[in-house]
């Protein structure tokens, strides 16, 4: 038989990954795509917004990039009046106003823009006719395109198992048993917190169901032949499989549906520290180091910078060799404030503050002197810290970031470091969190022991390699 006629083994297996451009969604997709590109007879295509193209090309020249027709989500939200600076809010157990922008945030686009993206994805699927589709769970038009074409697909979630299966927990536990997203409530939920947690849960549902932004898009797409509500509201259970980067050891206890696979942290291989930033190594070699990075969407205030500086200095003595590596975007804007706080040369010597890290945080975490990881609670940051085996301090700012702080505390691998003032940061509270992780003693040892055990569970889950094994299995089964 001619090798090119009817022999599916001889043809490359096309996988089309469809994702938002924001790092929180794109990172795991790019990691999966890079792993898939190493498999034999596999052709990797990535569909996203034009702003992601240069990053895709840097990750691998093997990728085929396809630009989607429209603005990426952050750009679309900004055009409708919602910017990154509008995202922070107090825990909704204290102020339900934190849900005000949620309806707009979950849909992202207006109706016309939504349909342009939907049509460009649908057209691309029809032209490429890939063996497998992998769709970002937060890209609603991608789900709708797969549904409209009656195509089987895999959903990729950058978030935790509970985030994709809350509605499938027995006894309606998703409504009352777990902290409501954005509430800032600890787990297990205490009896005294039960009323506020339930109120936040109903407020969240009501906000989504009555949002003018999301309902406007729903009606617009309904009128153009797309039935039902938004896919993000109904969940990814219609997908053939859901790839999730979590493991039970770093999440709340839950029932994992059959359609969800737990693969542990799915991260891009980072350039080794000795290659990316060899000049940083001698500084790290000086002593135990706390690493801090608050994510690309976060903007510091003067008061937060002061609190971090003062908090760390309050946590470590002058003769301690513990030091602080801090990615502070916009550092020049805070130079006077930093100089005022670090007048003492011994204090200045404990800090390395940079606007940009030449090496990825994941590669810096591998240095044996890095002993704690401070971040905003993003899923990628949480899972990277878990994989590295580092105790974490989480300073949540909005919605699901509060949930990550609750997870870290429940599993004993981290601390909710701004509970009293969130989304603000307070020096004494932050300093106390740092002290609990770095001062010698039973408590810091316990955090490190539990973090290392969590890291072992993450590694055993298999990560991107095992997840791509599953993708290949799905393709092979479809061809049988």
The answer on pLDDT for 146 being more than 80 is: yes
Instruction: Identify which of 253, 471, 284, 301 has the alpha carbon closest to the alpha carbon of residue 363.
Output: 284
pLDDT of residue 5: 42
Q: Same structural domain for residues 304 and 437?
A: yes
Q: Which domain holds residue 160?
A: 13-76+106-172+183-191+213-264+462-479
Q: Same structural domain for residues 250 and 287?
A: no
Q: What separation in angstroms does the CA of 390 have from each of 141, 365, 367, 453? A: 37, 8, 11, 10
CA–CA distance, 119 with 332 (Å, rounded to integer): 44
Model confidence pLDDT, tens digit, residues 243-259: 999 999 999 999 999 99
pLDDT of residue 9: 56
- 355 with 329: CB under 8 angstroms? yes
CA–CA distance, 217 with 224 (Å, rounded to integer): 11
361 within a domain of the structure (yes/no): yes
Q: Same structural domain for residues 300 and 247?
A: no
The answer on pLDDT for 389 being more than 90 is: yes
Q: Same structural domain for residues 379 and 389?
A: yes
Q: Same structural domain for residues 327 and 469?
A: no
Question: Would you call 125 exposed, middle or buried from its count of C-beta atoms within 10 A (0-12, 13-18, 19+)?
Answer: buried
pLDDT of residue 4: 42
Assign residue 397 the CATH number of its domain: 3.40.50.2000
The answer on pLDDT for 50 being more than 90 is: yes
Which two three-digit tokens encode residue 296? 């690309």
b/e sequence 98-110, b meaning 16+ C-beta within 10 Å:
bbebbbbbbbbbb
95 within a domain of the structure (yes/no): no
Model confidence pLDDT, tens digit, residues 455-469: 999 999 999 999 999
CA–CA distance, 457 with 381 (Å, rounded to integer): 17
Neighbours of 61 (CB within 10 A): 8
Q: What separation in angstroms does the CA of 128 have from each of 18, 194, 473? A: 13, 50, 20
Model confidence pLDDT, tens digit, residues 335-385: 999 999 999 999 999 999 999 999 999 999 999 999 999 999 999 999 999
Range from 9-13, 181-185, 202-206 carrying the lowest mean pLDDT: 9-13
pLDDT of residue 337: 96
The answer on pLDDT for 176 being more than 60 is: yes
Instruction: Give me the number of domains the chain comprises.
Output: 2
82 within a domain of the structure (yes/no): no
How confident is the model over 209-234, as a mean pLDDT? 94
**Residue 480 DSSP SS3:** coil
Of the chain, the percentage scoring pLDDT greater than 90 comes to: 91
Query: Cα 158 from chain centroid?
Result: 5
Task: State the DSSP string of 121-189.
Answer: HHHHHHHH--SEEEEETT-HHHHHHHHHTT---EEE-SS-HHHHHGGGSGGGHHHHTSPPTT----SSP
CA–CA distance, 145 with 52 (Å, rounded to integer): 21
CA–CA distance, 370 with 180 (Å, rounded to integer): 33
CA–CA distance, 402 with 263 (Å, rounded to integer): 23
pLDDT interval class at 7 (50, 70, 90): low
471 within a domain of the structure (yes/no): yes
Q: Same structural domain for residues 248 and 344?
A: no
60 within a domain of the structure (yes/no): yes
13 φ, ψ (degrees, to nearest 5): -90, 115
pLDDT interval class at 480 (50, 70, 90): low
Q: Same structural domain for residues 422 and 282?
A: yes
pLDDT of residue 1: 36
| Averaged confidence pLDDT in the chain | 94
- 417 with 340: CB under 8 angstroms? no
- 236 with 155: CB under 8 angstroms? yes
pLDDT interval class at 2 (50, 70, 90): very low
Higher pLDDT, 1 or 276: 276
92 within a domain of the structure (yes/no): no
């Amino acid at each position: 038989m001619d090798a090119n006629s009817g022999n599916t083994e001889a043809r490359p297996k096309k996988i089309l990954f469809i994702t938002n451009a924001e790092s929180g969604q794109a990172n795991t997709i790019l990691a999966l795509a890079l792993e898939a590109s190493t498999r034999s007879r596999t052709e990797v295509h990535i569909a996203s917004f034009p702003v992601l193209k240069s990053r895709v090309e840097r990750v691998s020249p093997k990728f085929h990039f396809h630009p989607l027709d429209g603005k990426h989500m952050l750009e679309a939200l900004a055009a409708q009046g919602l910017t990154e600076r509008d995202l922070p809010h107090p825990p909704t157990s204290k102020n339900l106003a934190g849900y005000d922008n949620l309806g707009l945030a979950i849909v992202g686009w207006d109706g016309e823009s939504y349909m342009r993206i939907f049509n460009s994805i649908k057209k691309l699927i029809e032209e490429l006719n890939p063996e497998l589709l992998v769709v970002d769970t937060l890209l609603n038009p991608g789900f709708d395109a797969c549904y409209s074409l009656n195509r089987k697909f895999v959903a990729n979630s950058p978030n935790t198992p509970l985030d994709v299966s809350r509605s499938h927990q027995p006894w309606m536990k998703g409504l009352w048993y777990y902290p409501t997203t954005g509430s800032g409530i600890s787990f297990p939920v205490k009896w005294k917190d039960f009323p506020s947690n339930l109120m936040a849960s109903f407020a969240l549902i009501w906000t989504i169901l009555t949002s003018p932004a999301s309902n406007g898009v729903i009606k617009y797409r309904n009128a153009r032949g797309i039935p039902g509500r938004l896919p993000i509201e109904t969940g990814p259970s219609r997908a053939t499989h859901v790839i999730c980067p979590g493991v039970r050891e770093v999440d709340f206890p839950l029932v994992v549906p059959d359609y969800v696979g737990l693969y542990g942290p799915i991260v891009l291989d980072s350039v080794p520290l000795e290659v990316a930033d060899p000049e940083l190594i001698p500084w790290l070699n000086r002593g135990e180091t706390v690493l801090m990075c608050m994510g690309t969407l976060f903007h510091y205030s003067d008061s937060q910078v002061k609190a971090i500086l003062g908090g760390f200095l309050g946590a470590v003595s002058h003769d301690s060799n513990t030091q602080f590596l801090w990615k502070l975007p916009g550092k020049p804007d805070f130079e006077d404030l930093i100089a005022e706080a670090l007048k003492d040369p011994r204090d200045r010597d404990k800090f390395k503050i940079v606007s940009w890290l030449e090496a990825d945080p994941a590669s810096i975490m591998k240095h044996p002197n890095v002993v704690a990881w401070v971040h905003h609670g993003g899923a990628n940051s949480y899972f990277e810290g878990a994989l590295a085996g580092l105790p974490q301090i989480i300073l949540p700012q909005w919605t699901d970031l509060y949930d990550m702080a609750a997870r870290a505390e429940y599993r004993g691998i981290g601390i909710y470091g701004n509970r009293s003032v969130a989304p603000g940061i307070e020096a004494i509270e932050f300093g106390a969190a740092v002290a609990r992780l770095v001062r010698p003693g039973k408590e810091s040892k316990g955090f490190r022991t539990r973090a290392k055990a969590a890291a072992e569970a993450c590694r055993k889950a298999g990560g991107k390699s095992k997840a791509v094994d599953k993708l290949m299995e799905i393709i092979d089964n479809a061809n049988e």
